[in-house]
Structure 1
Amino acid sequence: MPGCQASLSPSVPLFGAYFPSWLICLAGGIIGAVVLRVLFIRIGLDEVLPLRLLVYACLAAAIGLLLALTLYGR
C-alpha cells in the first residue's frame, strides 16, 4: 500500500499522536478568522458587512487553504 507510507501521508506528530494536516490547517483558519474579526470590529468594518457568518466562514476556509498550500504543498 504505497498510500500509507509515512512520507506520503500528510500527518503531523503532536502530543504523542498523529494528527492529519488538514486538521491543523482548519484550526489555523479558524484562529485567523477570529483575529480578522477582532481587527474588523476595531476598524469599524464589521457593522457594514453583509452576511457576516458567510464572510467569516469564507475567510476561515481561505486561510486554511492557504496554510495547506504553503505548508504542505497540497
Structure 2
Amino acid sequence: MKPISKKVAARLNGLHKEFNRSRSLTEISTLLGIPKSTYNSYLRGLALPPVPIAQKILNLTMNNTNDLE
C-alpha cells in the first residue's frame, strides 16, 4: 500500500466512523453510486477514489444527508 493510500484510507475511515455510524457500507455505496466493494477498497486503502467520488464522500459526511448533488 502506498503512503498516500494509507493516509486517504485513514481519513476516509475517520469520516465514515464519525458521520456514518448508522449507515451500512451498502447504503453509503448506493448513495455514492458505486459498488460496495469499491467503497470498501477505498476504506482499506487498496484504491483511491476519483475526485468526483471523493467530493460526494465529503458532501455525504459533512452534510450528513442523502442529497449528494
Normalised to the residue count of structure 2, the TM-score between the two structures is: 0.34
Larger RCO of the pair (alpha carbons < 8 Å, separation 6+):
2
Larger Rg computed on CA atoms: 1
